[in-house]
């Protein structure tokens, strides 16, 4: 199964290396899961990534011929510099037309959008760039939260390491979840997160400037079963409820109630991954109360049920 990866000067190295190692490892764990890997760009020769490492391109994009199973476009911090390159955009469009499926990692979605390959479909990209993608390409339904999105034969993923999730999902689609699981274990990575799982987490979204708020966040994360209502947290900070809510929201970008819910969801995820506790016990231990509340927050933040999450991510060795 031929995988052709498109890179540009200044690309994110892990956008290429992560998926490439997933596909290569698949052939090692299962002889029937063999992929061949090629790298192309506008011109042949060394193409330097944003981290300074160079990748040798042997065949320029204009000269890539023959059937392609998977076309994968890498992103990177310099993708904007390449969107107006007609050879690159035309090359991506041509290769996609002859590929069984097309995918992008991170801001590689911008090149797919520029080539018209995302029009009328749903896509994702790095959460920092999702708003820009939505504004510049209104014909694309941008999901700023998903780890990866599959719309027909076009796949897009969130930033950087989400390319590994994307490639694992492709391997699972090609050869089954057992092979994808063995690849994940071989690479010592988290096993195949579902595409709908949120790419956000409380630490990513909410980093306050003040030390007292950082200490409060740590305490919330470590004590999800405590009373974490606004009145209780305001008392802990020796602030009025109104002032506390305003300061917390200003410094973290989210109201305290949302942060608490995300923190409790994270605590519940860890219990589901590492224990056999019943769902009602998990809900109680993480301050979510009843199993129905646990179900609702998982559907809201992760787009899977707690039971499905446990089946996917339970550490079999615990």
CATH number for 152: 3.40.50.880
Helix (H) or strand (E) holding 5: strand 2-6
Query: Each residue of 190-235: pLDDT tens digit?
Result: 655 655 555 655 444 556 778 899 889 889 988 999 999 999 999 9
Instruction: Look at strands 122-123 and 141-142 and give their pairing.
Output: parallel
Q: Is residue 318 part of a domain?
A: no
Query: In terms of domains, do 25 and 145 share one?
Result: yes
Query: In terms of domains, do 180 and 254 share one?
Result: no
Number of domains the chain is built from: 2
Predicted confidence at residue 189, as pLDDT, reads 80
Query: In terms of domains, do 183 and 224 share one?
Result: no
Where in 18-140 does DSSP place strands (E)? Answer: 36-41, 45-48, 54-57, 59-60, 68-73, 99-104, 122-123
Could you give the percent of the chain with pLDDT greater than 90? 70
Predicted confidence at residue 301, as pLDDT, reads 80
* 278 confidence band (pLDDT: 50, 70, 90): very high
- Comparing C-alpha atoms, which of 130, 133, 127, 186 is closest to residue 161? 127
Q: Residue 179 and residue 26: Cα distance in Å, rounded?
A: 7
Query: In terms of domains, do 151 and 232 share one?
Result: no
Q: Is residue 138 part of a domain?
A: yes
Predicted confidence at residue 208, as pLDDT, reads 72
Predicted confidence at residue 314, as pLDDT, reads 59
* Bridge partners for 103 per DSSP: 72, 155
Query: In terms of domains, do 76 and 13 share one?
Result: yes
Query: In terms of domains, do 241 and 126 share one?
Result: no
Query: In terms of domains, do 171 and 232 share one?
Result: no
* Final residue in a domain of this structure, among 187, 220, 252: 187
> What does the mean pLDDT of the chain come to?
90
- Its domain, for residue 181, covers 2-187
Is pLDDT above 60 for 280? yes
Is pLDDT above 90 for 52? yes
Is pLDDT above 80 for 145? no
Q: Is residue 195 part of a domain?
A: no
- Comparing C-alpha atoms, which of 240, 146, 164, 174 is closest to residue 2? 174
Predicted confidence at residue 292, as pLDDT, reads 94
* 85 confidence band (pLDDT: 50, 70, 90): very high
Query: In terms of domains, do 92 and 236 share one?
Result: no
Query: In terms of domains, do 121 and 11 share one?
Result: yes
Query: In terms of domains, do 227 and 165 share one?
Result: no
Find the mean pLDDT for residues 277-285. Answer: 95
Question: Which parts of 176-255 fold into alpha helices (H)?
Answer: 177-187, 202-205, 211-222, 230-237, 241-252
Query: In terms of domains, do 154 and 272 share one?
Result: no
Predicted confidence at residue 315, as pLDDT, reads 43
Predicted confidence at residue 151, as pLDDT, reads 94
Q: Is residue 268 part of a domain?
A: yes
Least confident of 8-17, 136-145, 195-204, 304-313: 195-204
What is the number of other CB atoms lying within 10 angstroms of the CB of residue 59? 14
CATH number at residue 273: 1.10.10.60
Query: What's the order of all strands across the beta sheet hosting 2-6?
Result: 59-60, 36-41, 2-6, 68-73, 99-104, 154-157, 148-151
Query: In terms of domains, do 13 and 60 share one?
Result: yes
* Final residue in a domain of this structure, among 187, 215, 233: 187
Predicted confidence at residue 318, as pLDDT, reads 36
Q: Is residue 192 part of a domain?
A: no
3-state DSSP helix/strand/coil percent for the chain, to nearest 5? Answer: 50, 15, 35
Q: Is residue 197 part of a domain?
A: no
Q: Is residue 207 part of a domain?
A: yes
Q: Is residue 257 part of a domain?
A: yes
* Final residue in a domain of this structure, among 126, 157, 187: 187
């Amino acid at each position: 199964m031929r995988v052709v990866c498109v890179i540009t000067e200044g690309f994110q190295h892990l956008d290429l290396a992560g998926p490439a190692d997933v596909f290569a490892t698949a052939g090692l764990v299962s002889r029937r899961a063999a992929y061949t890997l090629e790298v192309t760009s506008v011109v042949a020769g060394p193409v330097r990534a944003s981290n300074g490492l160079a990748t040798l391109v042997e065949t320029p994009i204009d000269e890539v011929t023959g059937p392609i199973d998977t076309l994968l476009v890498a992103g990177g911090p310099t993708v904007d510099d390449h969107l107006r390159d007609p050879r690159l955009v035309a090359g991506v469009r041509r290769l996609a037309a002859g590929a069984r499926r097309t995918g992008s990692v991170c801001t590689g979605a911008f090149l797919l959008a520029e080539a018209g390959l995302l029009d009328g479909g749903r896509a994702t990209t790095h959460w920092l760039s999702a708003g820009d993608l939505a504004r510049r390409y209104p014909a694309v339904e941008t999901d700023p939260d998903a780890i990866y999105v599959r719309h027909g034969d076009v796949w897009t993923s969130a930033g950087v390491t989400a390319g590994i999730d994307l490639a694992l999902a492709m391997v699972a689609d090609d050869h089954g979840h057992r092979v994808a699981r063995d690849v994940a274990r071989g690479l010592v990575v988290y096993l195949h997160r579902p595409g709908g799982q949120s790419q956000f987490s409380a630490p990513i979204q909410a980093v306050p400037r003040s030390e007292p708020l950082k200490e409060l966040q740590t305490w919330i994360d470590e004590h999800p079963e405590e009373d974490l209502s606004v009145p209780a947290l305001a008392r802990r900070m020796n602030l009025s409820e109104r002032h506390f809510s305003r300061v917390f929201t200003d410094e973290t970008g989210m109201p305290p109630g949302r942060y608490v819910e995300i923190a409790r969801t994270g605590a519940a995820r860890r219990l589901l991954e590492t224990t056999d506790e019943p769902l009602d016990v998990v809900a109680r231990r993480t301050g979510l109360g009843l199993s129905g509340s646990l179900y609702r927050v998982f559907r809201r933040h992760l787009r899977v049920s707690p039971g499905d999450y446990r089946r996917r991510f339970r550490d079999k060795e615990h």
